[in-house]
Amino acid sequence: MGIAMIICDQIITEDKTNKKSLMGCFNNVSAAQFPTAPMNCAVFVALTDGHGAYQGKLECVNEDAGREPIFGMGGPVVFANPLQTIELGFKLVNLSFPKPGTHAITFSCDGEIILHRRFTVKQIAPNEVMP
Amino acid sequence: MIAIESPLLQFGQDFAEVTGAPTNKVSGVGEEPFISYTELMCVFAPLVFSITEMSDNEVVQLAESSASFAFLDSPEEDIYNDLLKSKE
């Protein structure tokens, strides 16, 4: 049912064609101090082969800190038919991470995790160049 | 495309309450492959955090290095140099 979950800097929609471009896909976040300075990013989720309505939920937790919740939100995801692809673009503004560690973003439908993505938030020296 | 700004979306909040629900996009479509796209903007409360001030030397050093185009002169960083060499 889950096709893709991409973490990126931003999602751009082309006006005429409605095509989506995912800019600056990443798996790591580096910061010199914690909590990190507020950052903007986006999570692109694509789903298909669904039957009817589900309760969708996007969650982010820090797995190295006892699954400490970073953010989470939910809402109905309704498929007209299984051939439909539902794309969701979550634009996250002022996102901050309290601690370093391996983080996971999951998208679940009716409590069942269908997309799961890990990324690392690591501490770097103040003068170190961020990758 | 639905783009609705939420003032503060906290952990566990229902995104359908503050944004356009995907159901808005799926009515009246027949049995054929199609894509619906919903954009959800989540604005978190900005954190207040302290910043460690850099020393004058560090500021000068960073300013100098950021404004430097010295890397353009270093051959190993210049792919065009390699192209030119290969043509020679």
Rounded to the nearest angstrom, the minimum Cα separation between B82 and chain A is 25
> Per residue in A66-119, pLDDT tens?
888 999 998 899 998 899 999 999 999 999 999 999 999 999 999 999 999 999
CA-based nearest distance B86→chain A, Å: 31
Tell me which residue in B21, B33, B39 faces A89 most closely, judged by beta carbons: B39
| ipTM of the complex, rounded to two decimals | 0.84
Instruction: State how far the Cα of A7 lies from the Cα of A24, in Å rounded to an integer.
Output: 8
Task: Give the residue, A27 or B53, on which the prediction is more confident.
Answer: A27
Question: Which residues, listed in sequence order, are joined to residue A115 by a DSSP beta bridge?
Answer: A107
Cβ <8 Å between A84 and B34: yes
pLDDT (tens digit per residue) in B14-31: 655 544 444 444 444 456
Residue range B3-13: average pLDDT? 48
Q: pLDDT tens digits, residue range A13-63?
A: 998 888 899 999 999 999 988 889 889 999 999 999 999 999 999 999 999
Q: Does A77 sit within 8 Å of B46, measured CB to CB?
A: no
Task: Tell me if chain A has a CB within 8 Å of the CB of B88.
Answer: no
Give residue B45's pLDDT band: very low, low, confident or very high (50, 70, 90): confident
- pTM of this structure: 0.70
Interchain proximity B37–A18, CB inside 8 Å: yes
Fold of A2-12+22-123: Immunoglobulin-like (2.60.40)
Beta bridge partners of A55: A76
Please, where are the H alpha helices in chain B?
15-18, 56-66, 79-87
CA distance A71 to chain B (A): 5
Q: Domain limits of chain A?
A: 2-12+22-123
Instruction: Report the C-alpha gap between A97 and A38 in whole angstroms.
Output: 8
Residue B17 to residue A86, Cβ atoms within 8 A:
no
Q: How confident is the model at residue B79 (pLDDT cuts 50, 70, 90)?
A: low
Beta bridge partners of A28: A120
What pLDDT, on the 0 to 100 scale, is given for residue B58? 82
Structure tokens at B54: 């850099």
Nearest CA to A79 among B31, B1, B40, B20?
B31
Q: Touching check for B45 and chain A: CB below 8 Å?
A: yes
> By percentage, how much of chain B surpasses pLDDT 90?
0
Residues in chain A with CB shorter than 8 Å from the CB of B40 are 73, 88-91
Query: A75 vs B41: CB contact, 8 Å cut-off?
Result: no
Give the A-side interface with B, CB within 8 Å.
11, 13, 18, 20, 33, 35, 37-38, 53, 56, 58, 69-81, 83-96, 126-127
B82 or A28, higher pLDDT: A28
Residues of B in contact with A20 (CB under 8 A): 37
Choose between A30 and B46: higher pLDDT: A30
Residue B53 clears pLDDT 60, i.e. is over it: yes
